[in-house]
Amino acid sequence: MDWPVVFRTHSEIEASIVRGLLETHGIDSIPSAGPAPSTFPFSDGLVEVRVAVPAELADQARRVIAEHREQVPAGVVLSLGQSLALLERRIGYRFRDTGLLEHALTHKSKAHEDATGGVVDNESLEFLGDAVLGFVIADLLYREFPQFQEGQKSKAKAAMVSTAALAALAGRIGLGEYLLLGRGEEKTGGRRKQALLADGCEALIAALYLDGGVLAARTFLLNELSYEIAHVRSPDFLCDYKSALQERLQSSGRPLPVYVVTAEVGPEHDKRFHVTVRVGTEVLADSVGRTKKEAEQAAAKEALTKC
């Protein structure tokens, strides 16, 4: 298949963005990668990614790319530099090595669909990011919550490093918009999947750590997890209202409470759970929380005022 090349770049992200744009205009494309052209007789190691289209659509493809090259997103294409700069501004950190940020955004589905073998996914960064996240939160709890027992620290850490917390963080910074996904994952709504967003968040944390050290990762996490940290600081965090409600009901010979999720509202990465607590046929309270456990605790707390 001898298709003409209509776009060249050194970035997989930029090539993917351009291919997505062409697809919205009904233009099929194929990527390829190889050494970048050089005037010197030795290789400098730079890889060039090329986007090719059917010959009869080449002129149309070039026009589409030219028209959208400098536009701001909302379904249109940015250059790699512009796209990453937007994310950098949102997280308040400028990378010295933007390749780390690009690597952190590359999901395994993209690597699996790439025939060139030149795309490396972010799974190793996820592994490192999980460790950095755990360290930063453990350090925070040691320094700022010395009154917590070990079990209480473990409970607080679990609340701040959970998949739900990381997915919510990713949603707040719009991380899903920047992920480099394979077509299959794209079509199944990967940019909104909670697990995928949480994994991408861990990879981003690792990229921050590798580029700017623990300070860069810590600053990002303390800023973006401010809600979760405030929740841990609140008097309600260590109170087990569900156990208290159960004990009160048992002491009066009443049935055990039953908690029912009546609604889940909002996008996958930032849902609100509506929970009702019943005793027999009696509804004692309704409440809302960012997790099922949080909503159940809030419902139990309200129920205690009524029984």
Among all residues, which ones are annotated catalytic?
Answer: 130, 202
Query: Quick count: other Cβ atoms within 10 Å of Cβ 40?
Result: 6
Q: Where are the alpha helices (DSSP H) in the chain?
A: 12-24, 58-68, 80-91, 98-104, 108-113, 123-144, 150-161, 163-173, 183-187, 194-224, 226-233, 241-251, 292-304
Instruction: Determine the distance from the C-alpha atom of residue 299 to the mean position of all C-alpha atoms in its chain, rounded to a whole number.
Output: 29
> Residue 259: in which H helix or E strand, if any?
strand 258-265
Give the whole-angstrom CA distance, residue 17 versus residue 216: 28
**Nearest partner of 166 among 99, 220, 232, judged by Cα:** 220
- CA 177/CA 193 separation, integer angstroms: 12
Task: Give Cβ neighbours of residue 117 (< 8 Å, ≥ 6 apart).
Answer: none
CB 223 within 8 A of CB 92: yes
The residue to which tokens 């039953």 are assigned: 258
Residue 102 and residue 12 in contact, taking contact as beta carbons nearer than 8 Å: yes
Q: How far apart are CA 144 and CA 147, in angstroms?
A: 9
